[in-house]
């Protein structure tokens, strides 16, 4: 157990926001499927899994995205694997939506009477906690996607693969490109974030720095 704990801590210390990757090194398929699997197995509110992981390997598409993704200008041309994470929009997260009912019935295998109870409870949650507001529902969905991204990045670090989370992009223009490419169809998904994976070109110039634990934790 002590060894496992240290391995996990070492992975967190190894991880850094890699700005450019070694283009001569590619992540093996088995390793990248492992990373994706940790995203798939991530927790989400109500177990709705409101995400889709789009792996952008087409060089021409990466070139289209680069001018409107200022935070990824170093990663788009060099990453072994580049992922755009899409979050489900409000339309597909309504209590009576096809997707929500599919999750309850086909994925979680809830009996009809349980589905009815959960539908009432979820409807109350939407009205009370998210004010039945389309923008807030989408933002709530995006927050679930960050859980998956964090787990994928940690999993990558555990097997010696670098990553970088990216928010620096023009959401409207990236969305338009993905729509033109047929990646986003209709109103079910919107862009949440991006994350690049690969192997670092060089080690960071300075060691990782963080506040001390007693500066960020308060016990009551």
Is 124 among the domain residues?
A: yes
Q: How far is 134 from 138, CA to CA, in rounded Å? A: 6
CB atoms within 10 A of CB 59: 9
Is 87 among the domain residues?
A: no
Query: Which token pair is 187?
Result: 């109103």
Whether the full predicted model's pTM is greater than 0.85, yes or no, is yes
- When divided into structural domains, the chain yields a total of 1
Which DSSP string corresponds to 45-70? GGG---EEEEE---HHHHHHHGGG-G
Is 97 among the domain residues?
A: yes
What CATH number is attached to the domain comprising 104?
A: 3.40.109.10
Is 71 among the domain residues?
A: no
Is 104 among the domain residues?
A: yes
Q: Determine contact, residues 85/53, Cβ cutoff 8 Å.
A: yes
Give the pLDDT confidence of 14-63 residue by residue, as tens digits.
999 999 999 999 999 999 999 999 999 999 999 999 999 999 999 999 99
Q: Which domain holds residue 156?
A: 15-42+93-165
Sequence-distant (6+) residues with CB within 8 A of 179 are 185
Is 184 among the domain residues?
A: no
Give the pLDDT confidence of 85-111 residue by residue, as tens digits.
999 999 999 999 999 999 999 999 999
Is 103 among the domain residues?
A: yes
29-40 helix and 134-158 helix, angle to the nearest 10 degrees: 140
């Amino acid at each position: 157990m002590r060894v496992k704990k240290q391995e996990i801590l070492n992975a967190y210390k190894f991880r850094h926001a890699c700005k450019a990757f070694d283009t001569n090194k590619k992540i093996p398929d088995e390793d990248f499927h492992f990373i994706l699997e940790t995203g798939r197995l991530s927790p989400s509110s109500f177990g709705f899994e409101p995400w889709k992981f789009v792996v952008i390997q087409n060089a021409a598409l990466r070139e289209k995205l680069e001018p409107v993704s200022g935070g990824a200008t170093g990663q788009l041309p060099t990453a072994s694997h580049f992922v755009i994470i899409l979050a489900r929009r409000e339309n597909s997260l309504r209590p009576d939506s096809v997707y929500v009912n599919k999750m309850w019935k086909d994925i979680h295998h809830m009996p009809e009477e349980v589905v009815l109870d959960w539908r009432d409870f979820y409807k109350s949650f939407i009205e009370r906690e998210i004010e039945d507001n389309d923008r807030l529902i989408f933002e709530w969905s995006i927050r679930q996607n960050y859980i998956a991204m964090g787990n994928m990045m940690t999993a990558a670090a555990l097997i010696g693969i670098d990553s970088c989370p990216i928010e620096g992009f023009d959401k409207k223009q990236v969305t338009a490109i993905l729509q033109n490419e047929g990646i986003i169809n209709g109103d079910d998904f919107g862009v949440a974030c991006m994350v690049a994976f690969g192997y670092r070109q060089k080690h960071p110039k300075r060691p990782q720095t963080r506040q001390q634990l007693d500066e960020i934790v308060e016990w009551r």
